[in-house]
Amino acid sequence: LAALLALLAAARALSTCRTLDLEAARLKRIEAVRGQILSKLRLPEPPPEPGPAGPLPEDVRALYNSTRELLLQRERLRPPED
């Protein structure tokens, strides 16, 4: 039994197989997909992250508010559903 265990340990030491790092494989796959997407979009690199949005122009704000008021009026006028 001792000789068999020694032989098994020696065989394991000669093995050239490396353990599979799943996290490294996952990160490589993500990078490959990212590269494919950039290639399809014909972009050399990802676009920069957008900064914080500035204040809305007054006409856009007025349009939003009027649309919101119109939707609230329609909701009030709609008959209740059973």
Is 58 among the domain residues? no
Is 54 among the domain residues? no
Is 34 among the domain residues? yes
The pLDDT of residue 15 is 60
Q: Which residue carries 């032989």 as its tokens? A: 7
- Name the residue range of residue 41's domain: 22-46
pTM over 0.75: no
- 41-69 pLDDT, tens digit each: 999 998 888 888 888 899 999 999 999 99
Q: How many domains are there within the chain?
A: 1
- Dihedrals phi, psi of 12, to nearest 5 degrees: -65, -35
Is 51 among the domain residues? no
Is 13 among the domain residues? no
